[in-house]
Structure 1
Amino acid sequence: MQSCHWQENGEQQASIIGQLTRDTVPELWSQLQAWQTQIARYEVCLKELDRVDSAGMAMLIHLLQHAKNQNCHIMLTFMPSQLYTLFKLSNIDELFAEHIQVTDD
């Protein structure tokens, strides 16, 4: 069974761990919709994502908008190549370039 969870790593950082797919997005998104922050910049580490599909990509887009509505700028770190490819294929990679932090592994 697939699983995915949000792990707070501090006041300004969290990780998404597991498989971010159409099977796991509904439960994770229901949790994240309740997420509130007063922080101006928040880092979401994707280093421990095992798999991501287009539903996972869509959820991340909604998460960025949810944070923006709270005046918070999310930076995605350690973006898996699979997710970056989905962004490119969807022709939205340039729209979200300001949310992607290039990190060396």
Structure 2
Amino acid sequence: MSHSQWQKIQDDSYQILGELNRDSVPTLWQELQQWQPGCSNVEVSLAKVKRVDSAGMVMLIHLIEHAKKQNCHIMLSFVPKQLKMLFQLSNVEEYLGGNLKN
């Protein structure tokens, strides 16, 4: 079983550690649905994500929408190449352009 973790760095920055896949996403998503952003702009670092699949991609899209409903804009930083490829193949890259930090 894979594990992933949501970790607060500062009020406006968080990171996800571990794997974002079909095994880890359900547990992590339960935690993230309770998250209340305290800032209007938040950076989420994916630098320590080891592996990501389509379930992880969908969870990140839902996280962005969850934050948007609470007037918070999420920027994903250190997006793994594997995830960028999934965004491209799923035709959501254009939709997420304002949420990806180079």
Pair in the same fold by TM > 0.5: yes
Q: Answer 1 or 2: which has greater helix percent.
A: 2
Residue 26 of structure 2 is matched in structure 1 by 26
Q: State the shift of 1:72 in Å.
A: 0.1
Question: CA separation in 1, counterparts of 2:38 and 2:19?
Answer: 28
- 1:58 is matched with 58
Question: Are the counterparts in 1 of residues 2 and 19 from structure 2 also a CA contact under 8 Å?
Answer: yes
Q: 1:13 — aligned with what? A: 13
Query: Where do 4+ consecutive residues of structure 1 move more than 3 Å?
Result: none
> Secondary structure at 2:47's aligned position in 1?
coil
* Other-structure match for 1:99: 99
The secondary structure found in structure 1 opposite 2:67 is helix
> Aligned pairs, how many?
102
Match of 2:3 in 1: 3
CA RMSD of aligned residues (A): 0.6
For 1:55 and 1:92, how far apart are their aligned partners in 2?
Answer: 14
Match of 1:72 in 2: 72
d(CA) in 2 for partners of 1:80, 1:29: 20
Q: Distance in 2 between matches of 1:44 and 1:4?
A: 14
Q: If the length of structure 1 is used for normalisation, what is the TM-score?
A: 0.96
In structure 2, how many angstroms separate the alpha carbons of the residues matched to 1:37 and 1:92?
24
- The structural deviation recorded for 1:2 is 1.1
**Matched residue type, 2:98:** E
Structure 2: distance between partners of 1:100 and 1:10? 19
d(CA) in 1 for partners of 2:55 and 2:49?
14
The percent of aligned pairs where both chains have the same amino acid is: 50
The runs of 5 or more residues in structure 1 that have no matched partner are none
